[in-house]
């Protein structure tokens, strides 16, 4: 039997780009979504859909125990399409809740299901201001005021849950600002842009090669160094669908 992988947030932009990579690599893919109307899209992509809300800890645990995935890839967010400014104030708090409470539930469910690995999405623009380029050893800006502080403390909680819960081997991918199909941004944006397909490749490579680490995943620039991901995972910001492996 091929290895089972659950992608949490499978119908999002990164999940959509990741699914065909996983299937091509030979994994049996399950994909979670909280919206039943997205199940057909997942089925059409070759995925077994799992309709469950990450905040329903009991239902989530039961779903993962039933599936028994070897690995879980956490791509859950709660952000408006294109980061609509009119909706971002509310979205910042909702997204931080997913990163903390939602991740805690997902990690607990994975442990109950006997999963071995978790790969989780974090962000590469959460570092405390200092000397650039930032690498993975730099401190996060958890004391920042306002919405930034809410977001950074959310990702700090996510990283703690994923990296420090035995017996899971946890890997954190600190993504740059995502652009490309399904993101609402067609061109590079932000200090450390990242194409959505390169983000998906990072998740696949982390699944295959990571021994439990934190990696910056962003385009080459003066803000963030992704040298560790290139060296240890063989990742490149130029990876796109059809990139030879």
**Residue 14: partners with Cβ closer than 8 Å, 6 or more residues away:** 75, 121, 175, 178, 196, 199, 200, 203
Q: Is residue 23 part of a domain?
A: yes
Q: Residue 81's pLDDT is what?
A: 57
Q: Residue 96's pLDDT is what?
A: 94
Q: Is residue 78 part of a domain?
A: yes
Q: How many other CB atoms are there within 10 angstroms of residue 112's CB atom?
A: 13
CB 16 within 8 A of CB 84: no
CB 59 within 8 A of CB 108: no
User: Could you report the per-residue pLDDT of 100-145, keeping only the tens digit for each?
Assistant: 999 999 999 999 999 999 999 999 999 999 999 999 999 999 999 9
- Residue with tokens 């799992």, as numbered in its chain: 50
| pTM of the shown model | 0.94
Q: Residue 184's pLDDT is what?
A: 87
Q: Is residue 240 part of a domain?
A: no
Q: Is residue 242 part of a domain?
A: no
Of 158, 52, 156, 202, the residue nearest 113 (C-alpha): 52
The CATH number given to whatever domain includes residue 107 is 3.40.50.720
pLDDT over threshold 90, residue 243: no
Q: Residue 89's pLDDT is what?
A: 66
The overall average pLDDT reported for the chain is 93
User: Could you report the per-residue pLDDT of 29-70, keeping only the tens digit for each?
Assistant: 999 999 999 999 999 999 999 999 999 999 999 999 999 999
Q: Residue 90's pLDDT is what?
A: 66
3-state SS assignment for residue 180: strand
Q: Is residue 243 part of a domain?
A: no
Total domains in the fold of the chain: 1
More confident: 151 or 86: 151
Please name the residue ranges forming H helices in 5-72.
13-24, 39-44, 57-67
Share of the chain above pLDDT 90, in %: 86
Q: Is residue 245 part of a domain?
A: no
Rounded-to-integer distance, Cα 245 and Cα 240, Å: 11
189 pLDDT tier (thresholds 50, 70, 90): confident
Mean pLDDT of 182-189: 90
Q: Is residue 244 part of a domain?
A: no
Mean pLDDT of 159-164: 98
CB 180 within 8 A of CB 195: yes
More confident: 2 or 131: 131
Structural domain boundaries, residue 77:
4-233
pLDDT over threshold 60, residue 209: yes
Mean pLDDT of 81-94: 66
Q: Is residue 142 part of a domain?
A: yes
Please name the residue ranges forming H helices in 25-145.
39-44, 57-67, 85-97, 103-112
């Amino acid at each position: 039997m091929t290895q089972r992988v659950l992608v949490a947030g499978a119908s999002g932009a990164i999940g959509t780009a990741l699914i065909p990579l996983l299937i091509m690599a030979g994994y049996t893919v399950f994909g979670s979504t909280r919206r039943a109307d997205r199940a057909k899209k997942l089925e059409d992509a070759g995925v077994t859909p799992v309709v469950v809300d990450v905040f329903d800890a009991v239902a989530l645990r039961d779903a993962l125990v039933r599936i028994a995935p070897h690995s879980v890839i956490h791509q859950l967010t709660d952000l408006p399409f294109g980061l609509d400014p009119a909706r971002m104030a509310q979205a910042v708090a909702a997204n931080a809740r997913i990163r903390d409470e939602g991740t805690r539930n997902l990690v607990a469910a994975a442990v109950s299901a006997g999963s071995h690995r978790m790969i989780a999405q974090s962000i590469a623009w959460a570092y405390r201001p200092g000397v650039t380029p930032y690498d993975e050893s730099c401190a996060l800006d958890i004391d920042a005021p306002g919405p930034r502080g809410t977001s950074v403390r959310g990702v700090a909680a996510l990283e703690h849950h994923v990296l420090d819960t035995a017996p899971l081997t946890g890997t954190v991918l600190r993504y740059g600002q995502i652009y490309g199909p399904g993101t609402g941004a067609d061109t590079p944006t932000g200090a450390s842009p990242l194409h959505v397909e390169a983000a998906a490749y990072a998740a696949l490579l982390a699944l295959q090669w990571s021994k439990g680490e934190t990696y910056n995943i962003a385009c080459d620039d003066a803000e963030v160094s992704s040298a560790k991901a290139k060296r240890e995972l063989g990742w490149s910001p130029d990876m796109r669908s059809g990139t030879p492996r």
